[in-house]
């Protein structure tokens, strides 16, 4: 009788052999040498004033506010879930009456400072390398206005192998993690069920609440815990 009961109540455990690990990118795999992401805009302003007197003084001096407003205005004008880097600079050019040459210079100047200030986040950097060494599939998912061609350059600075990982970015997919639609898209593209994806990121909504609501496993990265930087 005892053996029969054991057979009846033995728990069933499903093992998924095609588990995929996804990582958020910004403030999870890579970070910046500034306190807040928007501090890059203040750095752009400082560097423009010091190094490029040919740039309109009003634009250089007020770049932080102008850049933030351009992004906000571009988002208001768009019907898509996300916008890209070009949309933002098209809006900035319109607001500040910039020529195409001026627009392109400022856009690339901002990106150059992003690149200069990019640093790996050691704990998650190592985690990705360890998973890859074990032969696990790792993908990257980001809500970000930078197109993949820019993001791959930032990742390559951290580790060349990171730039080769499959990348799902909101502005190119037209979908966002924050709404859940980008996760649904990833599940479809990877041909997996929610419970076959484990996602790690730092945003309480986009990287924790939303994927959990879809049945995706989560591994929340708490940025309040100090990390070592390379």
Average pLDDT of 6-21? 53
pLDDT score of 3: 45
Mean pLDDT, residues 42-65 taken together: 98
pLDDT band at 72 (very low <50, low <70, confident <90, very high): very high
Compute the distance between CA of residue 104 and CA of residue 23 in angstroms, rounded to an integer: 31
> What value, to the nearest 5°, has the Cα angle with vertex 25 and ends 132 and 59?
150
Q: Rounded to whole angstroms, how far apart are CA atoms 153 and 163?
A: 7
Between 39-51 and 100-116, two packed helices, what is the crossing angle to 10 degrees?
Answer: 120
The whole-number average pLDDT for the span 51-72 is 98
pLDDT at 18: 76
Q: What is the pLDDT at residue 225?
A: 55
pLDDT exceeds 70 at position 219: yes
Burial class (CB in 10 A: 0-12, 13-18, 19+), 158: buried
Asked if pLDDT for residue 154 goes beyond 60, the answer is: yes
Pick the CATH number of 20-33+119-220 from 3.50.50.60, 3.40.50.1220, 3.30.360.10, 3.40.50.1000: 3.40.50.1000
Cβ–Cβ under 8 Å, residues 39 and 157: no
Q: What would the pLDDT profile of 89-136 be if each residue is shown by its tens digit? A: 999 999 999 999 999 999 999 999 999 999 999 999 999 999 999 999
CA quadruple 175, 178, 179, 185: dihedral positive or negative? positive
Task: Summarize pLDDT for 156-188 with one digit per residue, the tens.
Answer: 999 999 999 999 999 999 999 999 999 999 999
51: buried, middle or exposed (CB in 10 Å: 19+, 13-18, 0-12)? Answer: exposed
The answer, yes or no, to whether residue 153 has pLDDT greater than 50, is: yes
- How far does Cα 230 stand from its chain's mean position? 19
Q: Kindly state the tokens that stand for 90.
A: 């098209």
Is residue 169 classed as helix, strand or coil in its secondary structure? strand
Longest Cα separation, the chain = 89
pTM: 0.88
Residue 223 — pLDDT band, cuts 50, 70, 90?
confident
Q: Which residue from 84, 92, 90, 91 is spatially nearest to 63, judged by alpha carbons? A: 92
Q: How confident is residue 224, by pLDDT bands cut at 50, 70 and 90?
A: low
């Amino acid at each position: 009788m005892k053996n029969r009961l054991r057979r009846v109540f033995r728990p069933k455990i499903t093992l998924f052999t095609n588990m995929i690990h996804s990582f958020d990118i910004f403030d999870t795999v890579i970070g910046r040498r500034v306190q807040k992401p928007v501090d890059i805009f203040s750095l752009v302003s400082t560097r423009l004033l010091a190094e490029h007197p040919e740039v309109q003084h009003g634009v250089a001096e007020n770049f932080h506010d102008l850049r933030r407003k351009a992004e906000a205005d571009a988002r208001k004008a768009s019907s898509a879930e996300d916008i890209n880097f070009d949309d933002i600079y098209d809006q900035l050019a319109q607001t500040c009456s910039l020529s195409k040459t001026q627009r392109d210079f400022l856009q690339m100047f901002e990106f150059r400072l992003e690149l200069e200030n990019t640093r790996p986040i050691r704990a998650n950097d190592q985690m990705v390398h360890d998973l890859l060494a074990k032969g696990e599939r790792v993908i990257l998912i980001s809500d970000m206005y930078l197109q993949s061609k820019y993001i791959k350059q930032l990742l390559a600075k951290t580790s060349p192998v990171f730039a080769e990982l499959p990348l799902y970015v909101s502005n190119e997919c037209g979908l966002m993690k924050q709404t859940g639609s980008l996760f649904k898209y990833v599940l479809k593209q990877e041909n997996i069920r929610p419970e076959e994806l484990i996602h790690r990121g730092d945003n309480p909504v986009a990287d924790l609440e939303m994927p959990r609501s879809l049945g995706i496993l989560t591994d929340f990265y708490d940025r309040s815990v100090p990390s070592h930087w390379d």
